[in-house]
Structure 1
Amino acid sequence: MGASGSTGAGDVSDGLRDDVRAARRIVVKIGSSSLTTNGGGLEPERIAALVDVLAEVRARGAEVVLVSSGAIAAGLTPLGLATRPSALALQQAAASVGQGLLVHHYQQEFARHSILTGQVLLTVDDVIRRASYRNAHQTFAALLDLGAVPVVNENDTVATSEIRFGDNDRLAALVAHLVHADLLVLLSDVDALYDGPPSRPGVRRLVDVRSDDDLADVEIGSVGSAVGTGGMVTKVEAARIATGAGIPVVLTSADNAGAALAGAPVGTLFHATGRRRPIRQLWLAHATEGKGSVVLDAGAVRAVVERGASLLAAGVTGVKGSFVAGDPVDLVGPDGATVARGLVNFDAAEIPGLLGRSTGDLKEEFGDAYDRALVHRDDLVLL
């Protein structure tokens, strides 16, 4: 394994993390389990401690966006619910009651430092629809320019089981893309990523993760806390999303937040593996699902993947699903593997009549409206 490890959470290497210390726009995500005690209601002292840390980050000149779980957990006690309910309607009811309580606590605590907060509730639709995605970006930019700390959560009150992020780790990674963050910090009740269950004797802490190769021998659990929906699987996936677009990620516990944001080598640092990409490509890659698919021949796969070309009808051999022009669709090779996703320029019903034909032929027969690619390269991202 390429990552360096240790046998205890207290063992750290020498030196500070320069990328962390240099970050000027930071997204911090905190899980429900870090804001509650034994699966119960909110613990104001924990919120106060987190806000004190974030205020210190602000004082040194960095901007902060906070993605906070805890709305459903905050609503349990007032509604007389002993545990997080499984029924979606009850979850939404708890979120409706708890979101106001959660934000009120943050407003009070940030006010001690003369810092304003702004609530931002997002649904998947807000990042799938291009116009909403752009509007969300502009809202974040305005809040940050005005000196406020955006407090973000999934809009659990209206999200459906079919249309939801499912966890705030992925949401935080997408928000980090959205605001062009320099750093994403994931805080939970686990102090780092280990190569096995932290309770197992002899497990090693991964100090640095530089690629997926460093995770090859790591046992990653799948169960979150009693009041949350995430787990280590979602945190590692969130780290992949962010680092793949050039944003480093620190994973550690809420108790280590101050040290982590100061650049101390606590927790696990996932190093950036890719480069920043246009918002549209990030949106396509991480905030959409294909409404259908088009099947490419081998030549079209090479053109799209190796040469960065647009997808022309001449290279398409089939179409699956029901979609309309402007929808995201998966581009599938002859072997059935998805190679890319893009915004299609034609309805699914139109495409069978275009298959295998050159753009020139289509223009001549059907007119200028058909003088365009099936999927333009600017509306396409490799997967």
Structure 2
Amino acid sequence: MTVAERSQMSEAHRVVIKIGSSSLTREDGRLDVRAIHALADVIAARHRQGHEVVLVTSGSVAAGIEPLGLPGRPRDLAQAQAAASVGQGLLIARYSGAFAGHGLQVGQVLLTAEDTVRRGHYRNAQRTLERLLELGVVPIVNENDVVATNEIRFGDNDRLAALVSHLVGADALILLTDVNGLYTGHPAHEGSRPISSVSGPEDLEGIEVTGRGSAVGTGGMLTKLDAASIATSSGIPVVLTTPANVAGALAGETVGTWFAVTGKRTSRRRLWLAHAARTRGTITLDDGAVAAVLGGRASLLPAGVTGVAGTFDAGDPVELVDAAGNVVARGLVAFESDELPGIIGRSTRDLRAELGEGYDREVVHRDDLVLVRRRLA
């Protein structure tokens, strides 16, 4: 990491900032109004410089704990949704008041994973966010915990922030947490050292990261590393730091951990397929097919398939796995699940001769496939 790379932050026109529940609540679980105003102050200053900021916030469930008299974060889905229903209004009201002091309007955008799965929903969310930014409004994004189920939720707002960063074409992503960056081990453990920069996956080898985040949050360092991987592999640099250092991060100062870009901007469709799509089944590949897929230039043919699991229709997302069950790629399958067992392991020439044209097509075309595991050197 060079100073020049860090300095890009000061020039970034559009930035997504994500803040977690632990940074927005006090020890008693109530919203920390001072933290909300402090963040609004920094974002408003950035806005006055002519830049744009999209805020992804947690805290709706945490904000509903105290008004409902709950002892802590709800453990069951219905209780959590009730807390979110009460807390979301309180949370956005606090943000509205904080930004109003700077003459800024905020716009609430509630998303579920379904909004990235269905193209119509995705495009509508994109248009809404773009229009809010054009109007000079600060978009405040949160997962719609009130209606999201376990099957259609992002699970944490770190991942949501990475996907939103790609959706709005952000120049950078800042993840705010209660730990000032990534450490070689748990920050409280003796010998753990802070990591100033991460240039790629190899820099994370040997790093000990386990456990959930705070008692009021759903994320942890693992989800932040996942979010950083999603963003950087799509051409978006990431800074992981504390709310106290957000102004410094925006100014390009050496605070927290800098995650350098590892890949180029990719299509929103491929990003969805890699990180947001809900897969419907798995297709097991032989060693030759694994090598061909990881080579990045080959489609998956019936001859390279050794097994099928799950129930899916043609066009559904599926995971492609090797013989050991490791996920190699994701793709949009061209056959229904009940069609595949009769054709796997067979050449397209034999299938065409026996079954006719149409059955000699690719199981997953290379244009509908995205790698999950990088090819090894």
TM-score, normalised to structure 2, is 0.91
Among residues 52, 75, 86, which one is paired with 2:64 in the alignment?
Answer: 75
**Matches of 1:159 and 1:141, distance apart in 2:** 24
Residues 1:251 and 2:236 aligned together: no
Among residues 274, 281, 289, which one is paired with 1:285 in the alignment?
Answer: 274
Residues 1:104 and 2:87 aligned together: no
Judging changes above 3 Å, is the alpha-carbon distance between structure 1 residues 37 and 322 closer, same or farther for their aligned structure 2 residues? same
**Matches of 1:86 and 1:275, distance apart in 2:** 39
How much has 1:128 moved relative to structure 2? Answer: 2.5
| Corresponding residue for residue 208 of structure 2 | 219
**Matches of 1:272 and 1:254, distance apart in 2:** 23
**Matches of 2:136 and 2:361, distance apart in 1:** 44
How much has 1:73 moved relative to structure 2? Answer: 1.3
Query: Which residue type is aligned with residue 102 of structure 1?
Result: L
Aligned counterparts, 1:92-241, within 5 A:
92-241=81-230
How much has 1:187 moved relative to structure 2? Answer: 0.7
Query: Which residue type is aligned with residue 274 of structure 1?
Result: G
Question: Does the aligned pair in 2 maintain the 1:331–1:339 contact within 8 Å?
Answer: yes
How much has 1:137 moved relative to structure 2? Answer: 2.4
* SS at structure 2 position matched to 1:220: coil
Deviates more, 1:22-31 or 1:122-131: 122-131
Query: Which residue type is aligned with residue 318 of structure 1?
Result: G
Question: Does the aligned pair in 1 maintain the 2:7–2:251 contact within 8 Å?
Answer: no
Judging changes above 3 Å, is the alpha-carbon distance between structure 1 residues 216 and 317 closer, same or farther for their aligned structure 2 residues? closer
Q: Please, what is the CA RMSD of the aligned residues?
A: 2.3
How much has 1:364 moved relative to structure 2? Answer: 6.5
How much has 1:361 moved relative to structure 2? Answer: 5.8
How much has 1:236 moved relative to structure 2? Answer: 1.7
**Matches of 1:15 and 1:274, distance apart in 2:** 18
How much has 1:353 moved relative to structure 2? Answer: 2.9
Query: Which residue type is aligned with residue 246 of structure 1?
Result: G
Question: What per-residue deviation string (whole Å, max 9, x for no partner) do you get for residues 288-325 of structure 1?
Answer: 24311222333333332215222233433332211111
Among residues 3, 6, 17, which one is paired with 1:28 in the alignment?
Answer: 17
Judging changes above 3 Å, is the alpha-carbon distance between structure 1 residues 341 and 144 closer, same or farther for their aligned structure 2 residues? same
| Corresponding residue for residue 366 of structure 2 | 377
Judging changes above 3 Å, is the alpha-carbon distance between structure 1 residues 129 and 360 closer, same or farther for their aligned structure 2 residues? farther
Deviates more, 1:100-109 or 1:249-258: 100-109
How much has 1:378 moved relative to structure 2? Answer: 1.6
Judging changes above 3 Å, is the alpha-carbon distance between structure 1 residues 313 and 139 closer, same or farther for their aligned structure 2 residues? farther
Judging changes above 3 Å, is the alpha-carbon distance between structure 1 residues 94 and 303 closer, same or farther for their aligned structure 2 residues? same
Judging changes above 3 Å, is the alpha-carbon distance between structure 1 residues 334 and 230 closer, same or farther for their aligned structure 2 residues? closer
**Matches of 2:306 and 2:274, distance apart in 1:** 23
**Matches of 1:296 and 1:46, distance apart in 2:** 51
| Corresponding residue for residue 9 of structure 1 | none
Question: Does the aligned pair in 1 maintain the 2:285–2:307 contact within 8 Å?
Answer: yes
| Corresponding residue for residue 250 of structure 2 | 261
| Corresponding residue for residue 341 of structure 2 | 352
Query: Which residue type is aligned with residue 292 of structure 1?
Result: G
Query: Which residue type is aligned with residue 208 of structure 1?
Result: S
Question: Does the aligned pair in 2 maintain the 1:15–1:264 contact within 8 Å?
Answer: no
Question: Does the aligned pair in 2 maintain the 1:39–1:226 contact within 8 Å?
Answer: no
Q: Which one scores higher on RCO, CA 8 angstroms, separation ≥ 6?
A: 1
Query: Which residue type is aligned with residue 108 of structure 1?
Result: G
State the identity %: 58
Question: What per-residue deviation string (whole Å, max 9, x for no partner) do you get for residues 80-136 of structure 1?
Answer: 223222222111111000101111121222222232222111112222233333332
Question: What per-residue deviation string (whole Å, max 9, x for no partner) do you get for residues 260-291 of structure 1?
Answer: 11111111111111221111111111112431
Judging changes above 3 Å, is the alpha-carbon distance between structure 1 residues 93 and 70 closer, same or farther for their aligned structure 2 residues? same
